[in-house]
A and B are shown apart, each in its own frame.
Chain A
Amino acid sequence: MTTRKLIKGNIAICHGAVAAKCDAFFGYPITPQNEIPELMSDLMPANGGIFLQAESEISAISMVYGAACAGKRAMTSSSSPGISLKQEGISYIAACELPCVIVNVQRGGPGLGNTLPSQADYFQTVKGGGHGDYKMLTLAPWSAQECYEFMPLAFDLADRYQNPAMILMDAIVGQMLEPVDLHNNFEICDYSKSWATIGARGRAHNIINSLWIDPEVMENLNLRMQAKYAAAQLHETRYAEYRTDDAELILVAYGSPARIAKTVVDMARDEGMAVGLLRPITLFPFPSARIAEYAKNGSRFMALEMSAGQMVEDVRLAVNGMADVAFYGRTGGVVPTPTDILNVVRASFSKPPVFSSYPSERRSVK
C-alpha cells in the first residue's frame, strides 16, 4: 500500500534508504542535511540496521568503507564542506571497487560559505574530487519524490558497478516540503559479494586493498574502472525532456534550477519563443549523446546553474562546437528567479527585458 506524505527531500532520502534495505548509516552533523542523520538515528535501528554518529566526516566515510568491505549496504550524508573531507575515503572506496551511497545536500561556498542552495560542487562530484582517475555514479533529484526513488536506484547502481554512487542535491531539494508517494515498487536485487571481508570461512583469505606497487597491475585496475565507466555511460544515462521537440533554445539544468527553468519554458512559449528544457538526471554519466543530437539538429543551448558555470563545460564538450552554448548562473546561495532567466532567454532572442513581479528583484531595480 502506498502512503502519501508531505515531507522534505531530506526526509524522503531516509525513507528511500530504508526502502533500499540500507544496512548502515554513518554521518556527522552539518546544515542543511541534519534531518537525514536525525531521522536515520530512529529508522535504522527500527529496521534492524546500524546508525552511528561519527567523530568527523572523515571517520564517517571510513566507517562506510568498513561496512561496505563487510558486504553491507552502507551510506553517509553531508553537505559541501563535509563532502570535501570525505574525498579521501571516496577515492579509496572507488579504488577498492566497493559499493556505497553518499548524499550531498550542497550549500553555498567556497569555504564555510552558507547553508543556502548551491550547485557549486558539480566539478568535485563528477570530475574526481578525490585523487586518482575515478568517477561517482551521480543522480540529481529535482523533487522530494525523486529523493525517495533515487535511493534504491543509487544502491542498485553502486552494487551493480561496484562503485560509489552519489545523490547530488541542493538545499532547496533537501529542505522543500512536497507530497511524496512512499510506494514500494522497487526491485531490490541481492548481489553476490564473494569479495567481502567477513571472515575466511572455507575459502582463501579475501583482501580489500588499493595499494598496487606494480605499475602495470595498477594500470589494469584503472583500465577495468574506465571500462566500467564506459559501460555506465552506455547503459545508465538518464535525463528528462520538456518541450524540446521543436526547441530553438534548449535550457539545460538539473535539481531546483530545472524546476525554475520549466516555468521559464512555459513563459517563453507563451511569448512565442521556441524554448525547451533538457534535465540531466544522471550527472555522471552525462547525457552528452542526447545533447549532441539536438545540436546536430540546429538547437542552441543555455546552461542554468547555481554555480559560476560548471555543468556548462560538459554541455560544451557534448556540443563540441556544433552550436552556441550560453550560461546563466547565480552563486553563493542566491536562487535565480524565473524572470531572471526569462530575461536572459529574451536577450538571446533579441527581446528587451521585462520587469519582475518578484519582491527581491523589485528591490534591486531603483
Chain B
Amino acid sequence: MQKVFERPKGLTDNEFAYCPGCLHSVVHRMIAEVMEELDIIQNTVCVCPVGCSVFMYEYMACDVIEAAHGRAPAVATGVKRVLPDRVVFAYQGDGDLASIGTAEIIHAAARGEQLSVIFINNATYGMTGGQMAPTTLIGQKSTTCKMGRDPQISGYPIKICEMLATLDGPSYIERVAPTSPAGLVKTKKAIKKAFQNQIDGKRFSMVEVLSNCPQQWHMNPIDTFKFIEDEVSKVFPPGVYVDR
C-alpha cells in the first residue's frame, strides 16, 4: 500500500506532551516539514523558549538550545553571528516574546538579524497555570485577572506585528490563524517563507501564530478556534505586515 502521510524527518520519535487540541504540536510539525522540504535539518539550530514549548528540544531533530525566558532572540543572534551559514530560528510564546523578552525581540528585529522567529500567541501563560499575558484580551479572564482583563488596572494587549512593522530592520512579518484548512495552509506557507528568507540572505522574518489553550481558556478545542476567529482576530488581525 502507498504511504501518503508520515512523520516528518524534522521531528524526533518522541511523543508530544502537549495537551489535546493544543496548536503547539501542529506548528512544531509544520516547522519540521519545512526543515525537511528545504533540506536544512542538519544545518539548522533551534532556540527554544520558556513556557509550554520549553520541551521543544525533545521534539526537533535539529540541534537545539534552551534559552532563558525571553532571551531566545539574543541567543539566536549569538549563534547566527558566529555561524552565518546556518539557519537559526527562535520559537517563542507571548509571555516569552511580548512580555519578558520585549527588548530582545525589538532589537533583533531592528538590527535586521538574519533569523526566523515563530511567535505563538495564545493570550495566556499556559505552562504556569493561566495567568494574564501581555496579549490577554480586554475582558478575557485569567488566574491573575479573575473578573477579566481590566485596562484601568492592566492596560491593553500588545500588538507585536504592528509594533515591529514600524521598524526598518524586518524583511517579513505576518500574522496567521491556523483555525481552518485555509488558515493551516497559510500558516505553513508563512513558516516556510520565514525560513526561505533566511536561506536567501534576507533579514529578520517573524510569523505570529494566533494559537489556543483549551486547558486555560476552559474550552474544547473546536470552541478555541471559534474564539480565535471571532474575538482574538479582531484585536490581532491576521495579515502580512511587512514583506520586502
What residues of chain A have their CB less than 8 Å away from a CB belonging to chain B? 23-24, 26, 50, 52, 54-56, 58-60, 62-70, 72, 74, 88-89, 92, 197-202, 205-211
Contacts and interface: CB of A to CB of B under 8 A. Distances in A.
Given A56-B103, A88-B68, A67 B45 contact: no
A37 to B, nearest CB: 15
Contact of B62 (A66, A200, A210): A200
Nearest to A88: B68
A210 B81 contact: no
Contacts of A68: 78
B42 A66 contact: no
A55 B104 CA distance: 7
A65 B71 CA distance: 10
7 tightest A-B CB contacts, nearest first: A66-B78, A62-B74, A63-B78, A197-B63, A55-B107, A62-B71, A66-B75
Contacts of A72: 82
B78 A65 contact: yes
B43 interface: yes
Contacts, number: 129
B83 interface: yes
A125 to B, nearest CB: 20
Contacts of A199: 42-45, 62-63, 83, 86
A67 B82 contact: yes
Contacts of A65: 65, 67-68, 71, 75, 78
Contacts of A209: 57, 64-66
**Which interface residue of B12, B54, B64, B103 has the most chain A CB atoms within 10 A?**
B64
Contact of A67 (B42, B71, B81, B103): B81
12 contacts: A26-B78, A55-B107, A62-B78, A64-B78, A66-B65, A66-B80, A74-B82, A198-B83, A198-B86, A200-B42, A207-B63, A207-B66
Nearest to B71: A62
Contacts of A26: 78
Contact of A59 (B55, B74, B79): B74
Nearest to A65: B75
Contacts of B64: 197, 205-209
Given A55-B104, A59-B104, A207-B57, A200 B82 contact: no
A74 B77 CA distance: 13
Contact of A205 (B62, B78, B83, B106): B62
Contact of A70 (B54, B66, B78, B104): B78
A67 B66 contact: no
A50 B41 contact: no
Q: Is chain B's interface secondary structure helix, strand, loop, or mixed overall? A: helix
A24 B78 contact: yes
Nearest to B81: A50
B117 interface: no
Nearest to A196: B63
A207 B56 CA distance: 10
Contacts of B12: 205
Nearest to A197: B63
Given A70-B83, A197-B65, A209-B57, A63 B75 contact: yes
Contacts of A201: 42-43
B78 A74 contact: yes
A59 B67 CA distance: 11
A36 B240 CA distance: 42
B82 A205 contact: no
Nearest to B88: A66
A63 B75 CA distance: 5
B47 A66 contact: yes
B60 interface: yes
Contacts of A211: 54-55, 66
Interface in B78-121: 78-83, 86, 103-104, 106-107
B61 interface: yes
Contacts of A59: 71, 74, 77, 103-104, 107
A206 B79 CA distance: 14
B76 interface: yes
Contact of A89 (B41, B71, B81, B82): B71
Contacts of B107: 54-55, 59
